[in-house]
Structure 1
Amino acid sequence: MAQEILRDSTLGLLIRFATGGRVLKYPEEVEGFQIPSAYHHGDEKRQQTVDSTASTQAAPTPAEEKDVDVEKDAAPATHPPLDRGSTLRNTQTAPDREFSDSEDGDGHSISHNLSQITSRAQMSQVNTRADLEQAYTNASYQEQIKTQPSRPIAPTRTADGTILVDWYTTDDPENPQNWTHRKKALVVLQIYFYTLAVYIGSAIITPSQPYIEEIFHVTPEVASLGLSMYVLGYGIGPMIFSPMSEMPIIGRNPPYMVTFTIFLAISIGVSCVNNFPALIVLRFLQGFFGSPCLATGGASIGDIYNLFRLPYYLTGWAAFATAGPALGPLISGFSVPYTNWHWSLWEIVWLAAPVYVALFTMLPETSADTILLRRAARLRHATGNPNLKSQSEINQSQLTLGEIVVSNLWRPVQINALDPAVLFTSIYIALMYAIFYSFFEVFPFVYAVGLPRAGSVTKGYGLNAGEIGLIFLSISVGVSIAIPIYLWYLKYKFEPQIRARGLGAPEERLVPGLYACFLVPVGLFVFGWTGFNSPKIHWIVPTLGIVIFTVGIFILFQVVFIYIPLTYPQYAASLFAGNDFARSSIACGAIHFSRPMFLNLGVGPGVSLLAGLTFGGCAGIWGLWYFGATLRARSRFAAK
């Protein structure tokens, strides 16, 4: 497994390029490898059975075979001009004919076209509710065949003579859905820590802010640009970098590694700069080039887990994303007062560098479209057959720059403007994200020196920067409470319901949010009015309010991010990128408007204003649950 990971990593690709492919070879490049007969020109002397191929290609060791994950996904669908949903439901291809019919315990046939099982990364090609139901049915059947022996998958031949390169067998180890548990865990942990490092980089500068004000003679509102521009940068970045990762000829890894290399270089530069305008520009670029994992990380996880397993691992990814900004002030809060304001920025370098080394040497390509495209190129070279192509190559040849721009820049704006359900989710999520980032302005008023206003009753608890960083751990505590609650829902409600009755109405996925939404204003009111009277009330009370708030927003984020792809599967990627931009933009503004708001209104009234807005969100989430079916029926974009 180690050699395969190195071969498919960025370092491995560079080694292969430098050696002309003589080192770290793929199975098709190894002397004696028997290419399946279906991929030859028809030269009978060279044809071999697929069964013999399965025995000669690189396969897991016996110990690893026991560890092979049961979620066996496979290649894209079969013919470019066809409607993708119709293909999911009706196409009968060679693999169907090769597999013997069998039934599960409920009498359902599981003689299924395994090469068309849909993963989360392919949901943009699902057009209707029936297609979506079929995608989840496929994932369920996929798990049912885990005890069956490996079977060959014959490639599909199109009318024009093209042979669509596919996985060789049902347990092809090159298929990311067939990777071992250990390999999947390695990939997921790298994505988690990559996300954590970038998110920590946002708020880690906040303990340096008082020193920046003093050294550069700027106001606190101006000094806050060091945080807000970073947040704005990682909101804009995914609009550009996420589409690149969906192009099969590029894949996931190049956008990660190129941008993270620039991120690390800029992080070194921003740690040395002594000019305020340069500091702000570099902070924006830091966020911009750190952004790909913040949107595409979920797609990478979706490449290796099927639709039933995916929500569990996305919950962990969201936990690292939520905890990152909260850990930033803790990491630098104690060090900056005893060193200098640059110290917090150097800590970004020390955090990101080990992650970069791990990604460079151990992150394999996860996109099935890219893996099959590269396999097709190797097979063309080995056989001399120019008709060997992957489905992704054909799809990519039909893609235009205009379509990419429309899909990723114009489509999110269009759907938000014309679909009230999408507009509500964008505004609601953005509001909660803005409140989250307003904490970086209000925490010093509550926990440190109090509110600097004549007659204010908010005197603060007298904590230093490091101790305020410890208060931010309450956000991590809230996440730790929310995760088991939400995982319980996934395991005992979400998954059993889908397996037993199908997807049902997407609004059913909003049910946890119907209760969690009330935790948001309750937590804010507890924090606002007990913190307003600091230090008369013990500091733990407003801190518990932050915990309650965090539990609420974490669960709401999860239910909304399940609801969107179930309701708008074809546009889910665009909507996620648009939602990321909306929440980051509003959070950027919140960093600047929250301080004047608290100074003018006070902590209690200011937080109450925000809590009142979230009460409006409660009405909205209940309205979406109750009227969602009607809104979907009228929507131009929802799956019918």
Structure 2
Amino acid sequence: MADSLRESAVGQLLRLVNRQWLPYPDERPEFQLPDYDTPIDQEKPADHISSIGPDHQPKRRSEGEEQDVEAFQLAKTATAERTVSRTLTPIRTSDGIVLVDWYTLDDPENPHNWSSPKKLLVSFEICMYSFAVYFGSSVYTSSIDGIIERSGVGVVTASLGFALYVLAYGIGPMLWSPLSEIPSIGRNSIYIATFSIYVLLCIPEALVDNFAGLMVLRFLLGFFGSPCLATGAATFQDMYAMIKMPYLLAFWAGAVTLGPALAPVVAGFSVVAKSWHWFAWEMLWLSGPIWLLMLFLLPETSAPNILLRRARRLRYLTSKAQLKSQSEIDQAHMSAREVAFDALIKPWQINALDPAVLFSTVYTALVYGIFNSFFESFPLVYPIIYDFNLGESNSVFLSVIVALMIAMPTYCFYYYYWVEPKVAKHGFGPPEQRLIPALFACFLVPVGLFIFAWTTRSSVHWIVSIIGVLLDIPQFAASLFAANDFARSSVACGCILFAHPMFVSIGVPGGISLLGGLTILCAGGLYILYFFGANLRARSKFAAK
């Protein structure tokens, strides 16, 4: 707990006041620093995880080093116990620069070596943070009627508050994701700075009485809440071996699916009892405690950032200017143009030059658009056909909990007993193997949509249509993680705005049937990607470069 506090935003601020508060192990008198003065023979195999050559560029590990690291990581994956510590020898370049890296093979400051409780705490914080941000998207919908009455705007215009939020958290990752990869910034500073702004913006959102001002605030809230979407998965990857990542992503998917699903349930009753402003207060009450928890107990997980701060700390302790981290050496030889290109242009280049990635981007954007369009039909079904009040209508979203309680354990069971043993023996295999569960689950989506479309009439009990909703949710949850957040959120933003007029124009049965037909095309696309994905990847011009 003490090291989490030290690495948190509050801990780092306290250390700025006094470096002796919350000291690192290497700042204690009894700590034995590595010998940074003894010359090291570069021809001799280095007992080190990573190294640099005389040209300041990363040097490939020797075969022995690779075997040591792989054996250690496999041991840590298979058992919760740590292996015997092993000291790592510093690496020196020909011009005297000494690489600052982990002190030992099981260095406790390496996020992969953190204890299970610490990893679970960080994972819980990221999931709750993501839940709160996604909660803030759809909680607005319960207040649309009140906003229409107060501002005198139409339904489509009032829906902008939802659409702009979704659009903004698709734009945000284009900035936050590359910034988080800059070692001097890291992930934690972005999380804390942006979420602090998010929490503060909830206050004027709850007080504003001007439609234009409310729309501006909704966009800003989505933008400053988006880092969880931009780098949440990267935070998990900082701590866990790749073979364990599917479990983390499954629970993260559950958190971000529950957020927008439960928000209307919570706000549906309170908005009726209080006022349309009430949804914003609920955003504040949810995000505020999570923000405080992150301030005090969210440590930095980016290894380049941790090692960069270690190098600065050691330069201060030893007065040796030649001590540098790998990231400092790498960035010293990168121009601003190269940094900007890697951060802003390369993701779009990959989409343009890699057919498989482009297909995945289009697919996830389409599925996410259908997801948001589908939910826009609820206000035209349950209050009108079944005479539900606002709170009862929004209670339909509780079916999401049932769906996730079925889908998540099923997937984890499949991965644990089928996929993980195969990966441990033969490696991950081609990417198309990850699509096998979707090849079966994808048919549930059109089935659920057609059940919903053809049973939403007064002569059929409302529970039947809710069963259709339950069948849809598990597959939709996967669409929350797209290769291109901007494309996905842009399509979703448009769908939110045109879905209501579409349902009014052609009716809910016709509109939902249209969405069901589109999901059949999506299912066909999955099979194309599964059977022809290798061929598409072979045609990638990006890979060829």
TM-score by length of 2: 0.93
Q: Which residue of 2 aligns with 1:627?
A: 532
Is residue 522 of structure 2 the alignment partner of residue 617 of structure 1?
Answer: yes
Contact 2:52 2:91 in 1 (8 A): yes
Q: How many angstroms apart in 2 are the aligned matches of 1:464 and 1:593?
A: 24
Q: Which residue of 1 aligns with 2:10?
A: 11
Is residue 67 of structure 2 the alignment partner of residue 112 of structure 1?
Answer: yes
Q: Which residue of 2 aligns with 1:140?
A: 74
Q: Deviations over 1:326-345 (max 9, x none)?
A: 01101111000111111111
Distance verdict in 2 for CA 1:420–1:472, change over 3 Å: same
Contact 1:196 1:321 in 2 (8 A): yes
Distance verdict in 2 for CA 1:628–1:544, change over 3 Å: same
Q: How many angstroms apart in 1 are the aligned matches of 2:56 and 2:529?
A: 34
1:26-37 equivalent positions in 2, closer than 5 A: 26-37=24-35
Q: Deviations over 1:614-638 (max 9, x none)?
A: 1111111111111111111111234
Q: Which residue of 1 aligns with 2:407?
A: 482
1:141 is displaced (CA, Å) by 6.0
Describe the SS at the equivalent of 2:241: coil
1:13-412 equivalent positions in 2, closer than 5 A: 13-19=12-18, 21-37=19-35, 39-40=36-37, 78-79=52-53, 87=60, 90-91=61-62, 96=65, 112-114=67-69, 139-140=73-74, 143=77, 148-412=83-347
Q: How many angstroms apart in 2 are the aligned matches of 1:310 and 1:162?
A: 36
Q: Which residue of 2 aligns with 1:461?
A: 386
Describe the SS at the equivalent of 1:385: coil
Query: Which letter does structure 2 place at the counterpart of 1:470?
Result: S
Q: RMSD in angstroms over aligned alpha carbons?
A: 2.3
Match of 1:538 among 446, 458, 461: 461
Is residue 424 of structure 2 the alignment partner of residue 499 of structure 1?
Answer: yes
Q: Which residue of 1 aligns with 2:508?
A: 603
Describe the SS at the equivalent of 1:164: strand
1:409-558 equivalent positions in 2, closer than 5 A: 409-449=344-384, 460-531=385-456, 533=457, 535-554=458-477, 556-557=478-479
Q: How many angstroms apart in 2 are the aligned matches of 1:338 and 1:591?
A: 26
Distance verdict in 2 for CA 1:469–1:400, change over 3 Å: farther
Q: How many angstroms apart in 2 are the aligned matches of 1:248 and 1:284?
A: 28
Query: Which letter does structure 1 place at the counterpart of 2:31?
Result: F
Q: Which residue of 2 aligns with 1:55?
A: none
Q: How many angstroms apart in 2 are the aligned matches of 1:239 and 1:500?
A: 37
1:15 is displaced (CA, Å) by 0.6
Q: Which residue of 2 aligns with 1:455?
A: none
1:41 is displaced (CA, Å) by 6.0
1:379 is displaced (CA, Å) by 1.5
1:32 is displaced (CA, Å) by 3.3
Contact 2:51 2:91 in 1 (8 A): no
Q: How many angstroms apart in 2 are the aligned matches of 1:77 and 1:416?
A: 32
Describe the SS at the equivalent of 2:185: coil
Contact 2:56 2:93 in 1 (8 A): no
1:160 is displaced (CA, Å) by 3.0
Q: Deviations over 1:82-140 (max 9, x none)?
A: 887x82xx5368xx4xxxxxxxxxxxxxx7343xx6xxxxxxxxxxxxxxxxxxx8843
Query: Which letter does structure 2 place at the counterpart of 1:216?
Result: S
Which deviates further from its counterpart, 314-323 or 26-35? 26-35
Q: Deviations over 1:19-59 (max 9, x none)?
A: 2x12111122222322122x2467xxxxxxxxxxxxxxxxx
Distance verdict in 2 for CA 1:160–1:112, change over 3 Å: farther
Query: Which letter does structure 2 place at the counterpart of 1:140?
Result: L
Q: Which residue of 2 aligns with 1:100?
A: none
Query: Which letter does structure 2 place at the counterpart of 1:91?
Result: S
Distance verdict in 2 for CA 1:262–1:210, change over 3 Å: same
Q: Deviations over 1:469-524 (max 9, x none)?
A: 21011123222211112112221222111221222222112111111111111111
Q: Deviations over 1:187-223 (max 9, x none)?
A: 1111110000110000111111001001100000000
Contact 1:80 1:391 in 2 (8 A): no
Q: Deviations over 1:426-455 (max 9, x none)?
A: 121112211221234210111112xxxxxx
% identical equivalent positions: 48
1:75 is displaced (CA, Å) by 6.4
Q: Deviations over 1:312-359 (max 9, x none)?
A: 112111110111100110111100011111111111011110011000
Q: How many angstroms apart in 1 are the aligned matches of 2:476 and 2:137?
A: 19
Distance verdict in 2 for CA 1:138–1:589, change over 3 Å: farther
1:3 is displaced (CA, Å) by 1.6
Q: How many angstroms apart in 2 are the aligned matches of 1:331 and 1:447?
A: 17
Contact 2:235 2:301 in 1 (8 A): yes
Distance verdict in 2 for CA 1:601–1:286, change over 3 Å: same
Distance verdict in 2 for CA 1:628–1:18, change over 3 Å: same
Distance verdict in 2 for CA 1:148–1:346, change over 3 Å: closer
Which deviates further from its counterpart, 75-84 or 238-247? 75-84
Describe the SS at the equivalent of 1:637: helix
1:243 is displaced (CA, Å) by 1.0
Q: Deviations over 1:370-393 (max 9, x none)?
A: 111111111122222222111122
Distance verdict in 2 for CA 1:425–1:342, change over 3 Å: same
